[in-house]
A and B are shown apart, each in its own frame.
Chain A
């Protein structure tokens, strides 16, 4: 199986990136697990099947055909429409994230092949400003949708986000409408849109393009929702149920189509696109 070979290669450069500690604690089951074992397992906990958060680049490696990804609009980055400043100016905060993550924004977009099928793909990265959606993220999603329309190929998005980017105020709220409108046009043009939700997907991202997929897939145990758990607890003054807002909870309530293990994600995408595409390459 192709995906298995590829991850072995990934393992090597990941080891370089994260030098500290041989053991990690699983965020879900709290078990202490040998790091190498997790990495060999596509960053999935071998004890409880918790899917650790992965970077946008790792995600791309996992689901697109090797060497097929060509990035579009890498130069689109955040502005500072409000002149926002909290403890540090927003501009500096963005620069800090750029330095730390090697990314320029919380999303990477481009075209690629999935099992030979051409797609436009947009992948969010939670490590960049909590994957939050501001003007630049919104614009990149819209341009990706427009490219999918132009090329008449499916759009695939992978969400991982705390929601709208507060530091851009009303402009970030408006990105919800802007991205949803672009998806609306895509659907009217008869283009397939698959949305993948990964841990975590919240707020303005869930309440816009991420929940508008023709097919919606989530990774096991991912936290997904509109309102954050602390806000809900404070509002209703009740303890939340055990699996509340987990991917499985959303599946049970009919909000998503399926929960798919990381190792099966690429195959699943390929199969879906295959059903709805007439011309594989």
Chain B
């Protein structure tokens, strides 16, 4: 069963009909075949109509789509000989973050990412992709391992945020994130990051200090979720719902194209019509191409130049005013 989002409903009927006809037809009945073709054309038109005009809130829904490929899906599509490594050597292993060595087009990468989990049981096991401090400490351990052996690092960002809980606070959620930010800025090996779904605030950026930062076309990256923002701004004035979430999503400028315009990311990686889940292999191939192109650019740089340039990228992010009359 395909899962349809609210705004995709006009497609559901069409595509269900197509599937039904396909089942009935044996491929020889010309009438049915041409009817299928007609309907498919119509569905494609409807789809591109819907997808060329997505609001930021609708993009958020696609970024959180239950069928959207996750880190381990992309790893299995683009990497060979993947070996997952576990544990932070201090407290626990955090299944909401995964990492290990894998080979993409003959280069061994340390591949790390948030993992949300599919189906109720795995979702709970993965804590819905919301890491605890030990998760971040594991990723740092793995990144340092990669640095020692001069292997490039690829991170996939896809989380609603770091987990807000008692244990997480007790074990230093803030310290774990802060340390990742600081250490990643100094690692003497290339770091490439791709936001593949939800880039949820501090829990996301803790994997996102990179030499090249990309976003999939329908992913989002934000300092706060649209729901959180709406709650802060409008909760006092009554009940909040999709309308307010939509307004907040708009105001926060969270889409890939917004961030490209802000020069916070380097490129937008295109998704197939209807979103990454409609053709995971296609999406994975686009990711692999982009990552290898980025690595090519960085191969010639000395470690100290790499670190220096990474710092300068971060150093210049920010829009502020300086001097009384100076307005930007």
Contacts and interface: CB of A to CB of B under 8 A. Distances in A.
Nearest to B310: A181
A244 interface: yes
Contacts of B206: 207
Interface string B154-166: 0000000011111
Contacts of A208: 177-178, 181
A170 B208 contact: no
- With most chain A CB atoms within 10 A of its CB, the pick from B174, B222, B253, B262 is B174
Contacts of B315: 142, 178, 181-182
Given A177-B209, A253-B172, A170 B318 contact: no
Interface string B232-260: 11100000000000000001111000110
A238 B169 CA distance: 15
Contact of A232 (B166, B259, B320): B166
A184 B182 contact: yes
Contact of B323 (A75, A236, A238, A244): A75
Contacts of B172: 211, 253-255
Interface string B198-210: 0001100110110
B224 interface: yes
Interface residues of A, number: 65
A177 B181 contact: yes
A241 B320 contact: no
B202 A212 contact: no
A170 B253 contact: yes
Nearest to B236: A87
A232 B167 CA distance: 11
Interface stretch (A8-16, A18-26, A132-140): A132-140
Contact of B223 (A136, A173, A209, A249): A173
A174 interface: yes
Contacts of B178: 176, 180, 206-212
Contacts of A172: 223
Given A177-B181, A208-B181, A255-B175, A184 B320 contact: no
B254 A181 contact: no
Nearest to A225: B169
A250 to B, nearest CB: 8
A169 B175 contact: no
B319 A169 contact: no
Interface residues on B, range: 35 or more
Contacts of A231: 164
Given A79-B328, A170-B223, A232-B169, A207 B177 contact: yes
A244 B318 contact: no
Given A170-B253, A170-B259, A226-B169, A178 B317 contact: yes
A164 interface: yes
Contact of B319 (A171, A176, A181): A171
A57 interface: no
B185 interface: yes
A180 B262 CA distance: 21
Interface in B171-200: 171-175, 177-179, 181-183, 185-186
Contact of B186 (A174, A184, A206, A238): A184
Contact of A235 (B165, B185, B251, B319): B165
Contact of B162 (A85, A138, A173, A226): A226
Contacts of A238: 166
A183 B319 contact: no
Contacts of B264: 170-171, 174
Contact of B181 (A136, A168, A176, A240): A176
A181 B182 contact: yes
Contacts of A187: 182
A82 B253 contact: yes
Nearest to A238: B166
A142 B310 CA distance: 15
Interface of A: 75-82, 84-87, 134-136, 138-139, 142, 164, 166, 168-178, 180-185, 187-188, 203-204, 206-212, 225-228, 231-232, 235-236, 238, 240-241, 244-245, 249, 253-255
Interface of B: 162-166, 168-175, 177-179, 181-183, 185-186, 201-202, 205-206, 208-209, 221-224, 229, 232-234, 251-254, 258-259, 262, 264, 310-311, 314-315, 317-324, 328
19 contacts: A75-B323, A78-B320, A78-B321, A82-B252, A82-B253, A142-B315, A168-B223, A170-B264, A177-B314, A178-B314, A178-B317, A206-B174, A207-B173, A210-B174, A227-B165, A232-B169, A236-B165, A236-B166, A253-B170
